[in-house]
Structure 1
């Protein structure tokens, strides 16, 4: 049985939906904190059990009979998040799972300026030390993050951001399909190739693209990091969130998210969704 954690989230649910196209529902189990949100999957034949990364016993029940476990990264960063991942890895191993897959990220590194990359690198290290067969899925940067970064620029005509570098923005839907294929067909060990869309864009290119789509000028205004911090603070962003956003721009300037790969397109059997088409689907234009 393939167990998917975090199946009430966007990526986890997407993976389950794709798995249902490839294998019988009775071969799929999910581990979620709130089973009431997954009743539709239960009605379709998916095994639904409560599982919490902070509660090893709940995970042991959720992972029962697992051949593979897909660990969707917790949103908790720092030591608490790493402890949760350690618990999940240890429990997957205890349950007898033959392989653990983890939703890591391109640019994963303990030296990254972007805090989630440090989190991913630490978890990849835990997997290596666990002795369990594993695959670290080097996902491209989620395109949905762009909607928040663009903010009110569509209305104001001004995209205020620090200096940045190109990022290979990639959709949840494409990644979910690719991960389902990997779970059912691929036996990769260790880090996967980068699972990205085919192009990388910086914020200047994004401003030009959105401007073209909406039919009115949107200009990228480059500000210093501290000025951007003040700008986000004035909008009510908490300091922890500001540090993460600034870390993203610093890491992109370092070239951490520039590299693209054909691996995603090869897995899903078609070109990845373009950023232009994503914008047409996702922005309120």
Structure 2
């Protein structure tokens, strides 16, 4: 059995949808906070059990019988995420899972200034010490492009801190590839990168956006503190603004620059590029 956590979220839920195309429903289980939100999976024959990273006993029950467990990483900046991930790893080990897969992050290496990297690095270390085969899916940045570009469609300007090349990746592609890994015969040990085929900068995206819209989209580089002050002025908590700033700092330092071929290999096609995603957004 394959057990997926976070299956009522965007990445976990889409992964389960793709698993259902490759694996009999009775060989799929999910561990969710609220089972009522997963009724659509239960109706299709998926085993649904309640379990959260905060409750190790419930987790062990929800992981029972699993050969593989997919741990979708948490992202609550106010929680002890490493402690919660430890609960999940220990529960998978206690359930005698043969392999644990974890949704990590591209660039999860020492020195990366993006703060969540520390949690991913430490969780990968927990996996390495677990005694169970493990795979860390180091996913390329897959959040909405407007999250990092800002309100450029309204302003005509990408006014953000200095950035660097990033292979912005489609979450749907990552979910599909994750299902391929879970359902396939090919084992991946340790960390592997899943990214779009090419890395682009804000300068590149400004040019692409200009072509898509038919009018010039300007790229303006803001000073870090100027940008943080602007975020606070529009209501973003300072702690959150400074956390996001570390992402730009990591990008400009090259921590997200590498684009690899594995995602395309798993999908059997080219993944969506940032330009294609931007075109879809403009057309919407």
TM range (shorter): over 0.9
Distance 1:124 1:258 in 2: 21
Distance 2:215 2:37 in 1: 41
Count matched residues: 283
Instruction: Quote how far apart the aligned CAs of 1:78 are.
Output: 7.1
TM-score normalised per structure 1: 0.96
Instruction: Quote how far apart the aligned CAs of 1:150 are.
Output: 2.5
2:64 corresponds to? 64
CA contact (8 A) 1:159 1:218 kept: yes
CA contact (8 A) 1:161 1:223 kept: yes
Q: How does 1:101-112 map to 2 (within 5 A)?
A: 101-112=101-112
CA RMSD of aligned residues (A): 1.4
Distance 2:54 2:126 in 1: 16
Superposition misfits of 4+ residues, deviation over 4 angstroms: none
Of stretches 173-182 and 202-211 in structure 1, the one that deviates more from structure 2 is: 202-211
Instruction: Quote how far apart the aligned CAs of 1:276 are.
Output: 1.9
Distance 2:231 2:249 in 1: 16
1:51 corresponds to? 51
Instruction: Quote how far apart the aligned CAs of 1:148 are.
Output: 1.8
Q: For 1:100, what is the secondary structure of its paired residue?
A: strand
2:195 corresponds to? 196
1:114 corresponds to? 114
Distance 1:211 1:116 in 2: 33
1:211 corresponds to? 210
Structure 2 unaligned spans of 5+: none
TM-score normalised per structure 2: 0.96
Structure 1 unaligned spans of 5+: none
2:233 corresponds to? 234
Q: How does 1:173-188 map to 2 (within 5 A)?
A: 173-185=172-184, 186-188=186-188
Distance 2:45 2:282 in 1: 34
